[in-house]
Copies of this chain bind each other. A is one copy, B any other.
């Protein structure tokens, strides 16, 4: 009562009348209790009535997860009854090596070995630029040509090999080359910053003034003096080597390959390092990677493949009810696979590489599961790519004088291109579903922000999850349908529908 002094008169009167009503009720109860019929009723509201004021429904959260678990077990049983055990570990190596039924070679493995060529080329160009054998302009042209040729290589090989290349093998080689492209882009750009910075310090040529105007660099060189002093003082106490690698000492094959293996897409001359390898942590991650790979592969062979195949006919016949049912059925294994895949790659694998390489920055993902709109989701689910996009695309574009929205849309555009690349090239069907799916995130993001504002954070979060659960299988179905139509013709669809 003391906390609400200003409300006191009204509250007191109400409180008094409540007390009086209570007293009357109590007196009534006393009278009734004194009867020989042992009364047991008293005026009360049911818990579901609003007037009861009851709102503890936490038990239903357990109920929800229990039903989910039961549904999952049932689906698993149904799947085994229908299809038997389809998991075949022998196929996994073949898949990964890229060898197909018709093929003789392991094109994925060849392409992995080939990837050293553009990497070494890139280093050589950088060396040339550092010792000024190659001028800045032609050097950049060489780099761009090298990177574009690298990205096109899997497309050409997959096109030439055609049926001799398995889908999964092709897909992960494309993934590898896309990652290499982003890594080398970052490597070239960072080395360019360093080169320009060191030249600006030694000489002050007019051609470079434009780039050195960024006050960032001016500030940073001031801070550097103080920083070095502090660091030296500290290092005397700690007995550690303070030596930061300076450009162009970093241009070695060892440094470049450390960066290529490190779990990041942003090059730095001096990555933060850990002191030691935590053995228990390492063993856990290794086990997770080994078990997780099996789980994802098994889910794929046992659950995804039959679901996708089954949904082909209803999807082709535009039978809305059946296609929706199939789509929802496909959504569950696809989503579970994605979740496993996410954990496997972003937690287990990247942490494993980080631990082995003494790489200290393990910020590979944010808490995207709590994100209340699409933007937050895209910013937090894949931190390495997000960081790359900010550092090597967004900030340079804004620095070049363009607006922030231009920069955002460019980021989305490049991201959409790589999504398309990762799907279209292995499938050899150049449709634009993945590209459209990515570009569709822009209106969806606006929608989710409206939902978040109007209906609250919880509904924003639900929109994010829905787009994740439903959007992916929709794209997969579209691609698979087009893939079957393009490569096996309409006749196959008709054969299927007879069966």
Shortest beta-carbon distance from A340 to chain B in Å:
13
Stretch at the interface among A35-43, A99-107, A145-153, A160-168: A35-43
Asked whether B391 lies within 8 Å of A38 as measured between CB atoms, the reply is yes
Cα distance A36–B219 in the bound complex, in angstroms: 11
Inter-chain contact A41/B271, CB cutoff 8 Å: yes
- A203 at interface, CB cutoff 8 A: no
**How many chain-A residues does the 8 Å CB contact rule pick out?**
112
Asked if A370 and B56 sit within 8 Å, CB to CB, the answer is yes
Determine whether A70 belongs to the interface, using a CB cutoff of 8 Å to chain B: yes
Say whether A27 faces chain B, with CB atoms less than 8 Å apart.
yes
Shortest beta-carbon distance from A99 to chain B in Å: 34
Which of B31, B387, B391 has a CB less than 8 Å from the CB of A227? Answer: B31
B193 and A49: CB pair below 8 A? no
Q: Is A491 an interface residue (CB 8 A)?
A: no
A486 in the interface (beta carbon within 8 A)? no
Using Cβ atoms and an 8 Å threshold, which residues of chain B touch A321? 77, 80-81
Q: Is A255 engaged at the interface, CB distance under 8 Å to the other chain?
A: no
**Segment of A60-68, A123-131, A136-144, A433-441 in the binding face:** A60-68
Min distance, Cβ A263 to any Cβ of chain B, angstroms: 10
Interface SS of A by simple majority = helix
> Shortest CB–CB separation between residue A247 and chain B, in angstroms?
7
Contacts A41-B268, A230-B27, A367-B47; A34 near B224 (Cβ below 8 A): yes
Which residues 303-358 of A sit at the B interface, judged by CB distance below 8 A? 321-322, 324-325, 328-329, 331-332, 335, 343, 346-347, 350-351
Closest B residue by C-beta to A78 = B325
Interface-centre pick from A36, A331, A366 (highest chain B CB count, 10 A):
A36
Q: Is A371 an interface residue (CB 8 A)?
A: yes
Specify the chain B residue showing the minimal Cβ separation from A195: B36
* Assembled-state Cα–Cα distance A466/B63 (Å): 8
Chain B residues with CB under 8 Å of A193's CB are 36-38
Cβ–Cβ contact A48 & B197, under 8 A: no
In the bound complex, residues from chain B placing their C-beta under 8 Å from that of A24 are 234, 238
Q: Which residues of B contact A224 (CB under 8 A)?
A: 31, 34-35
Residues 268-299 of A, flagged 1 when their CB comes within 8 A of B and 0 if not, give 11111010000001000000000000000000
Give the chain B neighbours of A366 by CB distance below 8 A.
47
Q: Which of B31, B197, B458 contacts A244 (CB 8 A)?
A: B31
Q: Is there an interface contact between B223 and A34, defined as CB atoms closer than 8 Å? A: yes
Give per-residue flags for A238-274: 1 if the beta carbon is below 8 A from chain B beta carbons, else 0: 1000101001000000000000000010111111101
List residues of chain B with CB within 8 A of the CB of A61. Answer: 61, 64
Q: Verify if A221 is at the interface (C-beta below 8 Å from B).
A: yes
Q: In the complex, which residues of chain B have a beta carbon less than 8 angstroms from the beta carbon of A244?
A: 31-32, 35
A448-494: which have CB < 8 Å to B? Answer: 458, 461-462, 465-466, 469-470
Smallest CB-CB separation from A52: which chain B residue? B362
A73 lies within 8 A of chain B by Cβ: yes
Query: Does chain B have a CB within 8 A of A403?
Result: no
Q: What distance in Å separates the Cβ of A62 from its nearest Cβ neighbour in chain B?
A: 5
Does B62 contact A64, Cβ atoms closer than 8 Å?
Answer: no
Q: Are B272 and A220 in contact (CB under 8 A)?
A: no
Closest to A219 in B: B34
Output the least CB separation between A276 and chain B (Å). 13
- Given A36-B193, A74-B328, A268-B39, A44 contacting B227 (CB threshold 8 A): no
A46 within 8 A of B: yes
B residues less than 8 Å from A228 (CB atoms):
31, 34
CB-based contact B81/A270 at 8 Å:
no
A458 to chain B minimum Cβ distance, whole angstroms, is 6
Question: Given A43-B360, A71-B332, A328-B73 in contact, is the A223-B369 Cβ separation under 8 Å?
Answer: no
9 further contact pairs, Cβ within 8 A, besides A36-B193, A62-B462: A28-B272, A37-B194, A37-B267, A39-B268, A40-B391, A41-B268, A48-B343, A59-B461, A70-B328
- 22 CB < 8 A contacts A-B: A24-B234, A27-B234, A28-B231, A30-B227, A31-B231, A34-B220, A35-B244, A37-B268, A38-B190, A38-B391, A40-B266, A43-B272, A43-B361, A44-B363, A46-B365, A47-B367, A49-B347, A58-B370, A67-B332, A70-B470, A73-B328, A74-B328
- Complex A-B, nearest 6 residue pairs according to Cβ-Cβ distance, in ascending order: A34-B224, A36-B197, A43-B360, A59-B369, A74-B328, A41-B361
